[in-house]
Amino acid sequence: MKLGRMNHIGVATPDLDASIAFYRDIMGATDITEPFVLESQQVRVCFVNTPGENGTAGTQVELLQPTTSDSAVGKWLEKNPLGGQHHICYEVPDIHEAKAWFEKLGKRVLGEPRVGAHGTLIFFVHPKDMGGQLTEIMETPKEAH
């Protein structure tokens, strides 16, 4: 498997609007997308785009507020009520090769690759097999090739 760029850091929050204000007013973010609900993951989400070098796209903070308590982010917030870093997402050139790689290493891939919030195929690898870090693997968007 070939590791690509870090696409985003998933940050869970109990209050998305307050987190948007935090990144805008405290962190000086100038490029925050409009929130939308991703029913399949039971989250309301938006992206804080950070600048890259020489005008290239930087990485993103993916802000996630659960729409139900009985969801991955909802359960996590019960244990981490202030919110915080929930997962990290890396890009790979080939999602199916990456899935086979992790499975061969005996790591728990959570479900089949599915379309994620960026419109490309993703899967997650269990945090207990990844040094405590819930890890999202995402196929590099085609236009980025």
Ligand X SMILES: CC[C@H](C(=O)O)C(=O)SCCNC(=O)CCNC(=O)[C@H](O)C(C)(C)COP(=O)(O)OP(=O)(O)OC[C@H]1O[C@@H](n2cnc3c(N)ncnc32)[C@H](O)[C@@H]1OP(=O)(O)O
Cα separation, 22 vs 14, whole angstroms: 13
96 binds, among ligand X, Co ion, none (CB under 5 to 8 A by kind): none
Q: Tell me whether strands 84-92 and 57-66 are parallel, antiparallel or unpaired.
A: unpaired
Stretches 21-29, 50-58, 73-81, 95-103: which one binds ligand X (CB under 6 A)?
73-81
Structure tokens at 60: 């993103």
How many other CB atoms are there within 10 angstroms of residue 145's CB atom? 6
Which of 23, 124 has the CB closer to ligand X? 124
Query: Is residue 83 a contact residue for Co ion (CB under 5 A)?
Result: no
Contact 125, 135 (CB under 8 A): yes
Segment holding 103, helix H or strand E: helix 95-104
* Identified binder of ligand X from the candidate list 92, 98, 122, 137, rule CB under 6 A: 122
113 binds, among Co ion, ligand X, none (CB under 5 to 8 A by kind): none
- The strand pair at 36-38 and 109-115 is best described as unpaired
Rule CB under 5 A: choose which of 72, 98, 136, 139 binds Co ion.
136
Question: Based on CB atoms, which residue is closest to Co ion, 45 or 108?
Answer: 45
State yes or no: residue 124 binds ligand X (CB under 6 A): yes
What the block records as the tokens of 84 is: 């915080």
Residues in contact with Co ion by CB under 5 A are: 10, 62, 89, 136
